[in-house]
Structure 1
């Protein structure tokens, strides 16, 4: 299992709607609207890194109101 944080910049005024929309996606374990350089922080999980990439590209990035994303895989040492 691979987990990651996905940091999202939204269009102005869209953070709450984007967080609620993304929270319903299978593989997303948490989505919260926040303040700072990013507007929404998502925690997601997938079977492997390829599936994680598909989740981000096919499901998360295609949502209305998203300007840009940054995916940060979690490293367990």
Structure 2
């Protein structure tokens, strides 16, 4: 099991919409608004690194409101 925290920048004013969409993903364990360089943090659990990559690229970055992400893999 791979645990990761994804820091997400969203387009201005779309934070709530992004959180709603992220909450629908089965891999998302928790999601919150944060202050600082990023707008949202999501905790993700995936079976493998390949699965994590797929979640990030195909599900999170695919959202129109998401402008940038940074991934922190927990060990």
User: Normalised by the size of structure 1, how large is the TM-score?
Assistant: 0.91
2:71 & 2:27 partners in 1: Cα distance?
14
Scaled by the length of structure 2, the TM-score of the pair is 0.94
**Structure 1 unaligned regions, length at least 5:** none
Counterpart residue number, 1:32 = 32
- The answer to whether structure 1 residue 72 and structure 2 residue 72 are counterparts is yes
5 Å matches for 1:5-44?
5-44=5-44
How much does 1:64 deviate?
Answer: 2.3
Q: CA deviation at 1:17?
A: 1.2
Residue 23 (structure 1) shift:
1.1
| Distance (Å, rounded) in 2 between the aligned partners of 1:20 and 1:36 | 20
Distance in structure 1 (CA, Å) of the matches to 2:55 and 2:27: 8
CA distance in 2, matches of 1:40, 1:23: 12
For residue 71 of structure 2, give the secondary structure of its aligned residue in structure 1.
Answer: strand
Moved over 4 A (4+): none
